């Protein structure tokens, strides 16, 4: 991260967004139950610090939230991994639930307790899915509900 400041601001921002932020840990977020891991906040702190260094500014909390929004919503797409961890895991588990059921059919352990716990947490925060809504396999569907402007955070 220190060497990003040696590049032009635009090049450094592009590298930070595409290579050194959430895409770097996306596989871990989708494949491991890491929602409550304190390392996610540490990772986000490093991202915020790197973005501040690249832009030569001190980001307020509101500015950091806006920078973490997708580009189509006016952000820089430096996504906060602590906000992505739940949607990433739920989408991955939903997309493989049929396969998991088939594999674990003969096993004594047939339930995915992490998915059940996280899904209950998600429903508690965002409301239950209607019975006609299938579990989405697209992370963007789960992600929609955890974006700051969809959680009642004032607009920027």
- Per-residue pLDDT tens over the stretch 31-60: 888 888 999 999 999 889 988 888 888 999
Q: From CA 64, how far away is CA 148, in angstroms rounded?
A: 11
Residue 156 domain-assigned? Answer: no
Residue 28 domain-assigned? Answer: yes
Q: From CA 121, how far away is CA 18, in angstroms rounded?
A: 30
Convert the pLDDT of each residue in 52-73 to its tens digit. 888 888 999 989 988 888 888 8
The dihedral region occupied by 56, where left means phi > 0, alpha psi between -120 and 50, and beta the remainder, is: left
Residue 155 domain-assigned? Answer: no
**Total number of domains in the chain:** 1
Measured in residues, the chain has a length of 156
Residue 11 domain-assigned? Answer: yes
Q: Which of 143, 133, 95, 141 is nearest to 115 (CA)?
A: 95
Instruction: Look up the domain containing 51 and give its range.
Output: 2-150
Residue 99 domain-assigned? Answer: yes
Residue 96 domain-assigned? Answer: yes
Convert the pLDDT of each residue in 145-155 to its tens digit. 666 555 544 43
Overall pTM surpassing 0.85 (yes/no): no
Q: What share of the chain has pLDDT > 70, as a percent? A: 78
């Amino acid at each position: 991260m220190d060497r990003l400041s040696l590049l032009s601001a635009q090049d450094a921002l592009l590298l930070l967004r595409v290579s050194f932020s959430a895409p770097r840990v996306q596989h871990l977020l989708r494949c491991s139950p890491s929602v409550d891991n304190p390392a996610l906040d540490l990772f986000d702190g490093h991202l915020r610090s790197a973005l501040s260094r690249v832009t030569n500014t001190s980001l307020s909390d509101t500015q950091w939230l806006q920078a973490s929004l997708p580009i189509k919503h006016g952000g820089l797409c430096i996504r906060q991994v602590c906000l992505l961890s739940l949607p990433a895991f739920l989408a991955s588990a939903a997309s493989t639930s049929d396969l998991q059921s088939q594999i674990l059919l003969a096993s004594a352990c047939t339930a995915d307790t992490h998915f059940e716990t996280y899904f209950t947490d998600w429903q508690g925060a965002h409301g239950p899915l209607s019975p006609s809504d299938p579990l989405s396999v697209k992370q963007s569907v789960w992600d929609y509900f955890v974006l700051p402007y969809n959680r009642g955070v004032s607009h920027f």
